[in-house]
């Protein structure tokens, strides 16, 4: 497939918006500070292509009036912190054409093709202050179908917030009004003044992750080539995993393990097997927990920003592999269950107390810091099961496929619903190429 005639423009809010520095919360300041890619595929529109493009641009401009932080820019300030300037500089809108039909693609699942359909961000050669927080590309295929590829800054929006923006943009594009404006004031997730001293926070959760026993620097592992796969789980297979987890559940556990807990435990132990770890190898599992409903009071409806804390489950590969699935699921439940209002506020205050927040971030390519390596022997499993990822109708029908973009970090994975609506799930996984075939084989073999 060849993608050609790429052009781009800047789309700014249609009306004047508030300008100034919007305070970021500590949860915006840590974790992934890059852009997150997603992609939607659509069948041919009954309208001519120029009308489709103009409608997308006009409605985007109108939607940015409500989601004005997306039209701003980031910059670094003292203490390794980031600052958001609401200056209406706009988002980048790209147009492109592909010389193939949608039906001719081998798959709509993540592949190297996505690199041509989702705009990339040049962090190394572009000053942070000049990088748009939203970059998107509309690509028309030879059949008249098209794709919408997004890259949205994770500093400004987590998954819930990004999908809120997409759904409202789609609504405006259909000629309707904004249904629920975003709540933009992030003070509800700011630390106290002065922040409290937090005794309950385990600093290990903010420290560097384990590395391979034979590669203490992590340099060899970070250089290994990775690949991506999508593994489908039928409802029967999901039930089997939950049953396996619950067979060994402790008697005092009142509720059976969830799909997420059982599947994540299965991913963690399968990765340990496929990577052929030594039994004594330390390994960590990173879990993202949405805290919107865990705060007291809950966060305002449609809070726009990052309302996620990361918790870490740890163990040695030998016990993860040899002990029952319920044991591993229990480790996951234990760290998730501690996330309540008190814990979240303690995390925020702990971060506020730090002189330099850059040490708590994942890879930050824009400032030249290589950061910690979160791949082998570790994994991260993010759930999209509560996200409204399907049904973005911009006026020409719902998408034929939506999914994550190109994720190239070893050990990263997502759990999402299959698009058929039959209750099946999909695990999107990035792993070193040398381990992927063993992982796929063990993943299904161990379910049976």
- Could you give the residue numbers annotated as active site? 154, 393
- Sequential DSSP letters for 380-435: EEEE-TTS--S---SSS---SEEEE----STTEEEEEE-TTSSS-EEEEEEEEHHH
Among 96, 75, 97, CA closest to 86: 75
Tell me how far apart the alpha carbons of residues 395 and 114 are, in angstroms, rounded to a whole number. 24
**In sequence order, what DSSP letters do the residues of 19-50 get, joined into one string?**
-EEEPPPHHHHSB--SEEEEEEEE---SS-HH
Evaluate whether 293 touches 276 at the Cβ level (below 8 Å).
no
Residue 380 makes CB contacts below 8 A (sequence gap 6+) with: 285, 286, 287, 288, 374, 411, 412, 413
Sign for the CA dihedral angle at 103, 440, 310, 211 comes to: negative
Pairing type for strands 379-383 and 412-417 reads parallel
DSSP H helix total and E strand total for the chain: 11, 15
Pairing label, strands 91-98, 134-140: parallel
Three-class SS string for 325-370?
Answer: HHHHHHHHHHHHHCCCHHHHHHHHHHHHCCCCHHHHECCEHHHCEC
């Amino acid at each position: 497939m060849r993608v050609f005639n790429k052009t781009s423009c800047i789309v700014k809010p249609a009306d004047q918006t508030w300008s100034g520095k919007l305070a970021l919360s500590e949860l915006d300041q840590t974790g992934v500070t890059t852009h997150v890619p997603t992609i939607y595929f659509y069948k041919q529109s009954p309208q001519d292509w120029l009308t489709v493009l103009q409608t997308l641009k006009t409605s985007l401009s109108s939607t940015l009036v409500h989601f004005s932080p997306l039209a701003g820019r980031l910059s670094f300030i003292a203490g390794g912190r980031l600052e958001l300037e609401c200056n209406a500089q706009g988002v980048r809108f790209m147009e492109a054409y592909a010389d193939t039909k949608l039906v001719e693609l081998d798959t709509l699942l993540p592949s190297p093709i996505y690199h041509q359909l989702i705009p990339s961000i040049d962090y190394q050669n572009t000053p942070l202050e000049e990088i748009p927080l939203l970059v998107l590309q509309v690509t028309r295929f030879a059949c008249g179908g098209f794709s919408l590829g997004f890259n949205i800054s994770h500093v400004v929006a987590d998954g819930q917030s990004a999908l809120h923006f997409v759904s409202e943009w789609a609504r405006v594009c259909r000629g309707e009004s904004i249904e629920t404006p975003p709540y933009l004031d992030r003070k509800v997730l700011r630390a106290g003044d002065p922040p409290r001293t937090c005794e309950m926070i385990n600093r290990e959760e903010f420290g560097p992750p384990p590395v391979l026993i034979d590669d203490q620097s992590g340099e060899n592992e970070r250089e290994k080539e990775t690949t991506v796969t999508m593994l489908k789980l039928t409802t029967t297979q999901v039930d089997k995993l939950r049953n396996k987890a619950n067979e060994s559940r402790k008697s005092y556990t009142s509720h059976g393990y969830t799909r997420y807990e059982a599947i994540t435990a299965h991913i963690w132990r399968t990765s340990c097997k496929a990577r052929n770890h030594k039994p004594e190898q330390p390994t960590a599992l990173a879990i993202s927990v949405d805290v919107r409903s865990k705060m007291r009071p809950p966060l305002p409806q449609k809070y726009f920003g990052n309302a996620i804390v990361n918790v870490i489950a740890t163990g040695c590969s030998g016990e993860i592999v040899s002990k029952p699935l319920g044991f591993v699921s229990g480790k996951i439940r234990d760290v998730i269950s501690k996330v309540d209002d008190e814990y979240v506020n303690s995390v925020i205050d702990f971060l506020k107390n730090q002189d330099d927040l850059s040490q708590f971030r994942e890879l930050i390519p824009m400032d030249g810091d290589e950061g910690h390596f979160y791949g082998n022997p570790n994994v991260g499993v993010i759930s999209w099961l509560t996200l409204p990822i399907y049904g973005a109708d911009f006026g020409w029908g719902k998408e034929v496929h939506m999914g994550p973009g190109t994720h190239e970090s070893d050990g990263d994975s997502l759990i999402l619903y299959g698009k058929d609506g039959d209750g099946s799930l999909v695990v999107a996984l990035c792993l070193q190429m040398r381990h992927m075939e063993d992982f796929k084989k063990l993943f299904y073999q161990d379910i049976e």
